[in-house]
Amino acid sequence: MSKPVKSMLFWIIVFPILMMTIFIVTDYVKGTFVEITYYLPHFLWVTAFGLIAGFVAYNFRKIDEDV
């Protein structure tokens, strides 16, 4: 797999799942009722952020390699 694909997959798949796991565990520890439908909008937002962050991170790496 090429570097851009690896970077994008990390930021689009791994990062949102890791963030949602942290959100769910913290809510569980606080004693808040954990419902999956509550986390779906957050997951989609973090995935959109991951798409943008992956694109920016790839371009920063590309600029560093060119210079």
Q: How far is CA 63 from CA 29, 31, 55, 56, 57, in A?
A: 42, 46, 12, 11, 10
Structural tokens at position 17: 């799942």
pLDDT attached to residue 26: 92
Give the rounded distance of the alpha carbon of 4 from its chain centre. 15
How many domains is the chain built from? 1
Q: From first to last of the 67 residues of the chain, give the pLDDT tens digit.
A: 777 778 778 888 888 889 899 988 998 899 988 888 888 888 888 888 888 888 888 888 888 777 6
The whole-model pTM stands at: 0.71
Domain extent for 59: 3-66
